Amino acid sequence: MMSAAIQAIDSGSGGLLGLARRAAILLFDRDEAIVAQDEAAAYCYLVVSGCVRTVRLMRDGRRQVGEFLFAGDLLGWDCLGTHDFAAEAVCPVTARRFARHDLDRLADRDRTLRDRLFNRLRSGRDHMVLLGRQTAPERIASFLLEMAARIGPDGETVIELPMSRGDMADYLGLTIETVCRQLTRLRLSDAIAIDGTKIAIRDRLALEEAG
Amino acid sequence: MMSAAIQAIDSGSGGLLGLARRAAILLFDRDEAIVAQDEAAAYCYLVVSGCVRTVRLMRDGRRQVGEFLFAGDLLGWDCLGTHDFAAEAVCPVTARRFARHDLDRLADRDRTLRDRLFNRLRSGRDHMVLLGRQTAPERIASFLLEMAARIGPDGETVIELPMSRGDMADYLGLTIETVCRQLTRLRLSDAIAIDGTKIAIRDRLALEEAG
DNA sequence: CGATAGGTTGACTTCAATCAAACGACGTGG
DNA sequence: CCACGTCGTTTGATTGAAGTCAACCTATCG
């Protein structure tokens, strides 16, 4: 199934979409590795459905999640030689697999791929500011708004968060406990409501001025 | 003057170097802005000599330095619409200026520019791990090794650091005081020696196992 | 010289981490 | 059907690493 999200992203050129049609489609279970850290970068993937996290694991077990990827996001292309982060399915994932070589050739013709890289760079830099200079409350608020912006077209009010507290913590440079505490703080102040894996944004303004 | 560093980077295609020859050369004083944050991205720059920092300033004055750029590094291309970080001269800088449009057209033919983007992405992600999961001693050790690797071809032992303690702090997500304290700790343990703006790495192993 | 800016060191505080315990949801087996 | 174990989450008590506040040092420059 080719989702509307992907069609929209591929606007104009049809290049990536054309490649996608002929690409193998793969399924990954929750927590299954899609690419391993330090693995030779032979393939890259277009996420069709589900959520993927990229992770760097340090020898002592500390973990950093680089980004969360959703339907329409490209994964594993932007590296030289080896994958510097692993990629794992946060929940069941379907993805199209390409040879990196094919995507390289496509990129020679298709500028939208370059813009994808620029976008990636930008969100990476934004995330650096979060990790370097924001407090725990700010990080949580920014995270919720970021997820709201990505899942709904222009900021859904109810967001389905497929990742665990641990994943959030490792993305935000915090501990699980701190993530929990900040979420309950927001819940008690009625800025959000939490129902299982869904979070409803009740007071967007409160989040915006916090993050 | 066209430095050896730039020639080396431009190996093979000659594309960027050719463009550089015809580009205007500009001089910037210490602390002068090269591009402003949120400015429309019309130009990009190739650093010829000196050191540049990219900075994001928050309303309350908190600052994050995104990266330090040296001779041969490209600046201001990797963004869409506006510059998301400002760029400022750390010390007197000379740079070639291009229209972004020209670089876009060059990138259609020249794959080495794409590899530059990949490299940028990679170092950005490495820096995320530092900001998200490393301790202050680790950050300082990583920083010194990173600078040693960039300034000398394969890890000089004496490095000239053009940036202030404040710049380092804002790059590493620390305060000036913490940077100082960690540097004196390394100095007292004889891992490094400090002489004005120069730092000598006396015990590389100690730094490597710390970072 | 005095003034200013950057750097270093010390005393104290604070925010988030750590350690620890309990809770809820879920699935398995008796 | 219910007891039990597991896993993820939540909450509480305490600790600790880095931040803040403040003083002082050093170098450069008018």
Q: How do residues B159-203 score in pLDDT, each as one tens digit?
A: 999 999 999 999 999 999 999 999 999 999 999 999 999 999 999
Are A114 and B120 inside 8 Å of each other by CB?
no
Indicate yes or no: CB of A56 within 8 angstroms of CB of B114.
no
> In terms of pLDDT, which residue wins out, B131 or A6?
B131
What pLDDT was estimated at residue A208? 93
Please say if the pLDDT value at position A120 is more than 70.
yes
pLDDT at residue number A20: 74
Report how many helices (DSSP H) and strands (DSSP E) chain A contains, helices first: 8, 11
Residue B209's pLDDT band, with cuts at 50, 70 and 90, is confident
Position with higher pLDDT, B3 vs B14 = B14
Q: Residue B50: its pLDDT value, please? A: 96
Span B81-98, average pLDDT: 96
* Nearest-CA residue relative to C1' of D18: B178
- In this model, does residue A145 exceed pLDDT 90? yes
DSSP-assigned states of every residue in B64-108? EEEEEE-TT-EES-S-SSB-SSEEEESS-EEEEEEEHHHHHHHHH
Q: Does B158 have pLDDT greater than 80?
A: yes
Helix or strand holding residue B176 (H, E): helix B176-188
What does the block give as tokens for B103?
């670089």
Residues of chain B whose C-beta is under 8 A from some C-beta in A? 56, 58, 62-64, 66, 78-80, 84-85, 104, 107-108, 111, 114-115, 117-122, 124-129, 131-133, 170, 172-173
Q: For the purposes of burial, counting CB atoms within 10 Å of the CB of A57, is it exposed (0-12), middle (13-18) or buried (19 or more)?
A: middle
Confidence band for B11, pLDDT divided at 50, 70 and 90: very low
Q: Which tens digits make up the pLDDT trace of A150-175? A: 987 776 789 999 999 999 999 999 99
The answer on pLDDT for B137 being more than 70 is yes
Å from the B184 CA to the C9 C1': 10
Nearest nucleotide by C1' position to the B184 CA atom? C8
Measure CA A21 to chain center: 23
Segment holding B114, helix H or strand E: helix B111-133
A131 touches strand C (CB under 7 A): no
For residue B126, the distance in angstroms to the closest alpha carbon of chain A comes to: 9
pLDDT tier at A12, thresholds 50, 70, 90: very low
pLDDT at position A7 is 47
Q: Which residues of A touch B (CB under 8 A)?
A: 56, 58, 62-64, 66, 78-80, 84-85, 104, 107-108, 111, 114-115, 117-122, 124-129, 131-133, 170, 172-173
Give the whole-number percent of chain A exceeding pLDDT 90.
Answer: 77
What percentage of chain A exceeds 70 in pLDDT?
A: 92
**Least confident segment among A51-60, A113-122, B166-175:** A113-122
CA of A185 to C1' of D1 (A): 39
Residue of chain A with shortest Cα separation from B125:
A66
Quote the pTM value: 0.92
Confidence band, pLDDT 50/70/90 cuts, at residue A210: confident
Taking the CA atoms of B116, B120, B122 and B126 in sequence, report the sign of the dihedral they define.
Answer: positive
CA distance A66 to chain B (A): 7
Yes or no, beta carbons of A64 and B129 under 8 Å apart: yes
What pLDDT band is residue A17 in, cutting at 50, 70 and 90? Answer: confident
Question: Who's near B199: CB < 8 A, 6+ residues apart?
Answer: B144, B158, B159, B161, B183, B192, B193
- Mean pLDDT along residues A14-43: 89
Cβ-defined contact of A131 to B126 (cutoff 8 Å): no
Whether the predicted pLDDT of B6 surpasses 90: no
Which of B119, B120, B128 is nearest residue A66 as measured by Cβ atoms?
B128
In this prediction, residue A134 carries a pLDDT of 98
Give the model confidence (pLDDT) of B114-127 as tens digits. Answer: 999 999 999 999 99
Other beta carbons within 10 angstroms of residue B31's beta carbon come to 11
